[in-house]
Amino acid sequence: MRAWWTAFIFVAAAAIAIIAPAGAQTSGNVDVRWYTSAIVQTALTPNYASGYGTVKAVFGTQPTPAPGAGACLDGCAVDFGVVQAGLQYLYKYAAHLNVMTNDTAGFNVYAEGAADFTDGAGNSMALGQTLFYVPSVASGDLNNGFTAGFPLQVTGGVVSGPPDPNTPPSIAYTTYPAPVYTSPSQNGDVYHDYEMKVPPTANASNYFVWIVYTVVAR
Amino acid sequence: MNRLQRLALALAVVITGAVLFSPRSHAGLAQQQRDQISIAVIVNVTPAAGYVPAPQAPPAIAARLGLHEARGSERNVDAFPSSGGDLVAQTSNQKSLKVTAQVTPNPNATLLYGNLPMVQMTGTAGTTVQQTCIYTVTVHTTISTWTLREGLSGNFAGNFPGTDLANNSYIAGATPQPTSTPFIVYPTSWSVLAQSGGIKTYCVDLSLTIPAAVPGGTYSTNAVYTLYY
């Protein structure tokens, strides 16, 4: 019996050796290559410096900034407070965006409104004709209400939902708008004042809008 | 008349002349500022032909995945072919902030107003662009004598002065002025657009000469109008 098993193993091994092609491998190589996506970290701080708040547009000596009740240092809303139709205002130290990325090419910043100014009851103000951003600094801001600004437009992207004063929206882009800031560096800070030109025909009401900052690694 | 009297008379003539022939001083003495508005002028500049731009930014971050076929296991291991374009994964991050305002009525809101709070012009560096009646400015008052002044709040940029922007302002529907006048830039005393009375609407034609050395980009200033009476 033992001799029979020995013969069987020998014949089976010989058969495998004959059937298997010469040089066949029992393992292969998988070549996987990839580029690592950049990591982007941002921090957005409203009312980022003491002295934040609303200033009526005048030349010369500037009034003391006076934010609305909905504003607070290093947070809350950018609240212009009570503004009059037909007048123009500056809001100092409105937004500070801190960006860090591991992309050595830097990053782009986009800033858009999720919608027009609305009071949620049918009244609205066209955002692109009403709210402007003005490049600012960390402290010692010398802007006034007539400093040149750039309009904040309503996004052409897909917004996560209808305007809601209590729910920050998000925007899905298929095409990005023109950046409000381009950094060739990995890290950077963007400082914005806001300027409001209240339409002369604006209806009296409480308005809000969400401004969405999007940072994209270049 | 002795020498002292002649000196006093000459001094009086000089002072009177300065008051009468200086528009700003005259308005300042006789009239008060009643309203002030601004119209943002946004300029999109395309670089001039031959302009050498800054080095191009590197391409966007891309994620590329390719599986090479594993030799000796073609039929059993291959996951999917590696044909097709790169997979593009742009890394982004989003944050938002809320802006609020309580708008209240302003009885003087229509005393001085424009039909647009912002206008845009587009041109190539080294060229001049013109736009007819790009905006209007209206004084809406029954006051019989008022003065309307105009000027820019600042330059577009260091190498792009506000004086490169000229205006031709005229009563809407009337014939434009023979020539355009460059805007005066704050803090220089602003020029008088009109001394008139009652309700008037002015058409403003803008003519912008963009210096050839201005890089492509977006520039901004404010055209400011001030009403005195």
Full DSSP string of chain A: -HHHHHHHHHHHHHHHHHHSPTT--S-----EE--PPPPEEEEEEES-STT-EEEE--SSSPPPP---TTEETTEE-EEEEEEETT-EEEEEEEEEEEEEES-TT-EEEEEEESS-EE-SSS-EE-HHHHEEEEE--SS-----TTS--EEPPBPSSEESSS--TTS---EE-SS----SEEESSSEEEEEEEEEEE--TTPPSEEEEEEEEEEEEE-
What is the average pLDDT value for chain B, to the nearest integer?
A: 80
Pairwise CA distance, residues B193 & B170, whole Å: 9
Per-residue model confidence (pLDDT) at position B6: 67
Name the pLDDT band for B30 (thresholds 50, 70, 90).
confident
Distance (Å) from the C-alpha of residue B67 to the closest C-alpha of chain A?
6
Q: Are residues B167 and B181 in the same domain?
A: yes
Q: Fill in the DSSP letter of residue B175.
A: P
Cα Dmax for chain B:
123
Query: How confident is the model over A36-68, as pLDDT tens digits?
Result: 778 999 999 999 999 999 999 999 999 999 999
Nearest residue on chain A to B35, alpha-carbon basis: A87
Q: Which residues are within 8 A (CB) of B162 and not within 5 positions of it... i.e. 6 or more apart?
A: B152, B154, B155, B156, B183, B185, B221
Per-residue model confidence (pLDDT) at position B88: 41
**Residue B86: inside a domain, yes or no?**
no
Nearest by CB: A146 against B103, B156, B224: B224
**Residue B8: inside a domain, yes or no?**
yes
Which residues in chain A are closer than 8 Å to B73, comparing Cβ atoms? 28
ipTM for the complex? 0.85
**Residue B56: inside a domain, yes or no?**
no
* Residue position matching structure tokens 């090479």: B68
pLDDT at B73 over 70: no
Per-residue model confidence (pLDDT) at position B135: 98
Per-residue model confidence (pLDDT) at position A63: 96
Instruction: Indicate the pairing of strand A78-84 with strand B92-104.
Output: parallel
Q: E strand or H helix at B134, and its extent?
A: strand B128-139
**Residue B90: inside a domain, yes or no?**
no
CATH number at residue B128: 2.60.120
Mean pLDDT for A173-186 is: 95
Nearest by CB: A194 against B62, B99, B218: B99
Nearest by CB: A200 against B40, B61, B110: B110
Distance (Å) from the C-alpha of residue A61 to the closest C-alpha of chain B?
13
Q: Are residues B128 and B114 in the same domain?
A: yes
pLDDT at B68 over 90: no
Per-residue model confidence (pLDDT) at position B63: 40
**Residue B181: inside a domain, yes or no?**
yes
pLDDT at B119 over 90: yes
Higher pLDDT, A29 or A119: A119
Q: Answer whether A78 touches B (CB < 8 Å).
A: yes
**Residue B158: inside a domain, yes or no?**
yes
Per-residue model confidence (pLDDT) at position A37: 75
Distance (Å) from the C-alpha of residue A165 to the closest C-alpha of chain B?
8
pLDDT at B49 over 90: no
Higher pLDDT, A75 or B49: A75
Query: What is the total count of domains within chain B?
Result: 2
Domains of chain A, by residue range, sit at: 39-217
Q: Answer whether A4 touches B (CB < 8 Å).
A: no
Which residues in chain B are closer than 8 Å to A204, comparing Cβ atoms? 103-105
pTM: 0.78
Question: Inter-chain contact A78–B64, Cβ cutoff 8 Å?
Answer: no
Higher pLDDT, A34 or A136: A136
Distance (Å) from the C-alpha of residue A5 to the closest C-alpha of chain B?
33
Q: Are residues B8 and B44 in the same domain?
A: no
* % of chain B residues with pLDDT over 70: 69
Nearest by CB: B90 against A33, A199, A216: A216
Report helix, strand or coil for B18.
helix
Q: Are residues B44 and B151 in the same domain?
A: yes
Mean pLDDT for B1-19 is: 56
Q: Are residues B210 and B124 in the same domain?
A: yes
Q: Are residues B6 and B36 in the same domain?
A: no
Mean pLDDT for A146-151 is: 95
Q: Are residues B21 and B36 in the same domain?
A: no
- Note the Cα B6 to chain centre separation in Å: 50
Mean pLDDT for B151-172 is: 95
Task: Give the range of the structural domain holding residue B15, as residue numbers without chain letter.
Answer: 1-30
Query: How confident is the model over A66-117, as pLDDT tens digits?
Result: 999 999 999 999 999 999 999 999 999 999 999 999 999 999 999 999 999 9
Per-residue model confidence (pLDDT) at position B8: 58
Pairwise CA distance, residues A54 & A5, whole Å: 97
Per-residue model confidence (pLDDT) at position A6: 62
Q: Are residues B115 and B205 in the same domain?
A: yes
Instruction: Indicate the pairing of strand B181-182 with strand B66-67.
Output: unpaired
Q: Are residues B155 and B171 in the same domain?
A: yes
pLDDT at B208 over 80: yes
Per-residue model confidence (pLDDT) at position B70: 41
**Residue B60: inside a domain, yes or no?**
no
Q: Which of A26, A27, A30 to mutate to test the interface with B (most CBs of B within 10 A)?
A: A30
Nearest by CB: A86 against B92, B99, B110: B110
* Residue position matching structure tokens 């193993």: A9
Q: Answer whether A174 touches B (CB < 8 Å).
A: no
Q: Are residues B36 and B26 in the same domain?
A: no
